[in-house]
Structure 1
């Protein structure tokens, strides 16, 4: 019975989030069209709604630890579910994502993504996409801010191992900016798929920046070590221990 009640509450939570995205997106769209500030305000509003609804509706609290960067940099985040998207973005003054190109054509979401400076890439054309991103930033056509990338390329459940892809290292090397790793345990409470949301405290943690100048392989090894070590600690703090 308790599970069924939580599932229903989770369903209401999910529905309200999508309704909020639609309502906020439509209401603020005229402002967003003429002002990037309007687009960012709309996105931040949705993030606040998600964080406000979670505790009282499904018992899911959220916490942001560490020091989010307020300078131009690469933010390499652990990606476990859509919740870390909301949390990481809400913590940054000028966050922008590397997003799948297909999302450009999604109603509301695509247009807002482009307005806040997200950079669309083609799946399966990663080498060309990275070159395009580097060129855009170096020529000044990209909007300044914190470029958020997921070094494993997709959502990975807690305790599951997946390689860190070279694209993050290429960007780090060619952009010449610090890289801020971000750990997370949000997948324990908000899974990659499904409706059910577990009560607890979901955390994202901004870690010590990696300064520019490291060789590509050394950087990627250090990045993985920092993110995975910190994420495992957050998992254990929440009572989860990965199988060996």
Structure 2
């Protein structure tokens, strides 16, 4: 579901208050050249992630789903010089593109991209004592969203912010679609958040260059 006016407004916002710079533009170009799907966050959404990390005063960030590293760059730029960001990417080819883009942006000293299924990588992070993270951004396969949120809780502290992308699914999240695992997983994630006393959350719908979708925003309270 797309609308030319949504796209025009997003372009206006990006051009006036959240423009891509050379490194971000190069990241998108390199991702497209490598054949990655064009599903990175929009520039104004990348800027939102950047500002959330800054407002949070984040020093450590966990990203689940790297793709070409576009959102990773936005998030990492909000970190202090001694901050760290760990991003988990299933596809080795995507991870290679992301690492090159992150290095081009001058952020390879504070960003680590780990390759493999996130549900394998997350237990290893816990075993390493990698947490707690100040902010977790989840933008990976939607069927596993409830598992990713559960792991985000394990790797969090009181005050950690958790952001989950693509939770509206063209409005289909409001109705059951048992034949669509992305919607089933997203609804299961909402059910988990609703019954989890340690999470205070909201969700909102968005329209723009990425169509009709939305975000979940949650704060760990205990």
TM-score normalized by structure 1?
A: 0.38
| Larger Rg, first or second structure (1 or 2) | 1
Highest RCO, 1 vs 2 (Cα 8 Å, sep ≥ 6): 1
Task: Compare the two structures and name the one with the higher helix fraction.
Answer: 1
TM-score normalized by structure 2?
A: 0.40
